[in-house]
Amino acid sequence: MTADTISRDVADRNSDRNSDQNQEKIVRYTFVERVSHWLGAFSYIYVMITGLAFWSPYLYWLAAIVGGGAIARSWHPWVGLLFAASFFWTFREWRGDMSITDADLAWGKAIPDYIENEDEKLPPVGRFNYGQKLFFWGIFYGVILLLLTGILLWYTETIPWSLHWLRFVAILIHSSVALATIGLFLIHVYMSAVLEEGSFGSMITGYVTRAWAWTFHRTWYYDVTGRSQLKPKQ
């Protein structure tokens, strides 16, 4: 079911109300949430490009896009810090909406319906769905590991020789966690910017349509609009 079909459905069921209300937009992301998200996104893209350039000689050409190897090497840790700081800022904004509930686990069980694009069969979810929450927590723990190992690699000459094995552990963790977050990042961009029509615009303007909210985050829609839970028309 598309957001348009549901939009008509919602409009039908609320015909006793002023129909203009159905077109009203709902605030999904505040200005602060959008700024912290895009700061995190752009800084992540920079550390991803430079990190991949250091990771494999086959990808070293990527460094040329961002000013060459030497610049990439000196900026990577600083932009990494900016990325961590902006993600922790995002974390502060969203952690209250990201705890995993029983409703999320029920949604998780219905993932085959989600994959087959049968959204109407999915149990209603709050502001974020189970997949979004798993992504958020995956990035959260990823950032902590990247930060700790990154700082170790930044000041590698200060590690005493008796602990030199720490460098190898740090390299292994830093690169594997970075690859895992790149996997999560690609899934995230595809799901939020391509698959869910209307999502990308919400991270730009801050608004979604009522139809979008009802379709993808029904419990949240009822919470923010204060409307009673209407059963979908059979």
Residues that bind ligand HEM (CB under 6 A): 28, 37, 40-41, 44, 87, 128, 132, 135-136, 139, 185, 188-189, 192-193, 196, 199-200, 202-203
Closer Cβ to ligand HEM, 113 or 196, answer by number? 196
The C-alpha atoms of residue 30 and residue 65 are separated, in whole angstroms, by 33
SS3 per-residue string spanning the chain: CCHHHHHHHHHHHCCCCCCHHHHCEEECCCHHHHHHHHHHHHHHHHHHHHHHHHHCHHHCCHHHHCCCHHHHHHHHHHHHHHHHHHHHHHHHHHHHHCCCCHHHHHHHHCHHHHHCCCHHHCCCCCCCCHHHHHHHHHHHHHHHHHHHHHHHHHCHHHCCHHHCHHHHHHHHHHHHHHHHHHHHHHHHHHHHHHHCCCHHHHHHHCEEEHHHHHHHCHHHHHHHHCCCCCCCCC
Q: Supply the minimum distance, in Å, between the C-beta of residue 212 and ligand HEM.
A: 9
Closer Cβ to ligand HEM, 169 or 186, answer by number? 186
Q: Supply the minimum distance, in Å, between the C-beta of residue 42 and ligand HEM.
A: 8
The C-alpha atoms of residue 63 and residue 36 are separated, in whole angstroms, by 26
Q: Supply the minimum distance, in Å, between the C-beta of residue 163 and ligand HEM.
A: 30
Closer Cβ to ligand HEM, 139 or 167, answer by number? 139
Q: Supply the minimum distance, in Å, between the C-beta of residue 134 and ligand HEM.
A: 9
Closer Cβ to ligand HEM, 71 or 193, answer by number? 193
Q: Supply the minimum distance, in Å, between the C-beta of residue 32 and ligand HEM.
A: 14
Closer Cβ to ligand HEM, 63 or 213, answer by number? 213
Closer Cβ to ligand HEM, 149 or 202, answer by number? 202
Q: Supply the minimum distance, in Å, between the C-beta of residue 217 and ligand HEM.
A: 8
